[in-house]
């Protein structure tokens, strides 16, 4: 894999409330990664204008994890499409009607706005949760079974793929095929701390297993030199690390 191909697969989580820091990180990482992920923390503090100001035209993964009644989620997806994301997500546990409404809203909004439709991705089981956590909230079976169940439902509802942990990549590829997009957080290089993630693997391992996009935050943004950390990961993905 070339460095260019490796970069395209790497999205960096900009998990901050501070606009100036987000802008600094985006500028530092420009040209070194495939895109930037913004979630609820930054969006709640800075709103759509903050994302536009921070991203500076870089490809966007809007990690908003919409989960509500179908009409509300459809409206939220339409609004989010004005930011022209490359990737947008909803909680697969919101159910069939909600996901189908979200998929239709993304298609309609993109046509109306005249730009490419984003990948609409379902969140299966958060990577901070393990089997014991699921049991505690009343979900039966191991996390891997819940991920597979929700992924199949998401695919049936017209979603492009799912967010999943590295450990579920192989099973999802077998169940959902090669065209189903797998966006994978919970990535930790061997030289970084695991933090609060419970189902993790290295970038190279996740890519080899079949991930389409790797989402990495603190191992890059939490270092004293985010550009160097990003380049180190790209080198590992390209087989030079």
The pLDDT of residue 193 is 57
Tokens read off for 60: 């966007």
Pull the structure tokens for residue 42: 């930054």
Q: Is the pLDDT of residue 232 over 60?
A: yes
9, 37, 40, 65: the catalytic one is 65
**What is d(CA 185, CA 17) in angstroms, rounded to the nearest whole number?**
20
Which domains are assigned to the chain? 3-237 (3.20.20.70)
Residue 60, pLDDT > 70, answer yes
Q: Whole-angstrom Cα distance, residue 105 to residue 38?
A: 21
C-alpha dihedral over 79, 80, 83, 85, to 10 degrees? -150
Is position 65 annotated as part of the catalytic site? yes
Q: What is the pLDDT of residue 81?
A: 98
**Cα–Cα distance, 211 to 114 (Å, whole number):** 29
pTM of the full predicted structure?
0.92
pLDDT at 240 over 60: no
Q: What percent of the chain has pLDDT over 90?
A: 78
Choice among 24-28, 81-85, 140-144 with the minimum mean pLDDT: 140-144
The β-bridge partners of 201 are: 187
* Residue 116 burial by Cβ neighbours in a 10 Å radius (0-12, 13-18, 19+): exposed
What mean pLDDT is reported for the chain? 92
Specify the higher pLDDT residue, 196 or 3: 3
User: Comparing 197 with 2, which gets the higher pLDDT?
Assistant: 2
Helices (H), 187-239: 203-209, 218-221, 226-237
Residues 50 and 60: their CA atoms lie apart, in Å, by 13
pLDDT per residue over 6-43, tens digit each? 999 999 999 999 999 999 999 999 999 999 999 999 99
Res. 3: pLDDT tops 80: yes
């Amino acid at each position: 894999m070339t460095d260019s191909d490796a970069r395209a697969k790497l999205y960096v989580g900009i998990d901050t409330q501070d606009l100036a820091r987000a802008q600094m990180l985006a500028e530092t990482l420009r040209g070194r990664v495939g895109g930037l992920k913004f979630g609820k923390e930054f969006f709640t503090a800075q709103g759509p204008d903050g994302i536009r100001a921070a991203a500076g035209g870089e490809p966007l993964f809007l990690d908003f994890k919409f989960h509500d009644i179908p009409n509300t989620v459809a409206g939220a997806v339409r609004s989010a499409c004005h930011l022209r994301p490359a990737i947008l997500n909803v909680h697969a546990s919101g159910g069939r009607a909600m996901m189908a409404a979200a998929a239709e809203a993304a298609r309609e909004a993109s046509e109306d706005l005249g730009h490419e439709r984003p990948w609409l991705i379902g969140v299966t089981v958060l990577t901070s949760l393990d089997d014991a956590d699921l049991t505690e909230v009343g979900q039966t079976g191991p996390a891997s079974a819940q991920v597979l169940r929700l992924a199949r439902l998401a695919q049936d509802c017209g979603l492009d793929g799912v967010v999943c942990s590295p450990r579920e990549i192989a099973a999802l590829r077998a169940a959902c095929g090669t065209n189903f997009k797998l966006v994978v957080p919970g990535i930790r290089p061997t030289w970084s701390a695991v933090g609060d993630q419970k189902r993790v693997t290295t970038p190279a391992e996740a890519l080899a297993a079949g991930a389409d996009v790797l989402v990495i935050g603190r191992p890059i943004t939490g270092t004293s030199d985010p550009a160097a950390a990003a380049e180190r990961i790209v080198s590992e993905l390209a087989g030079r690390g």
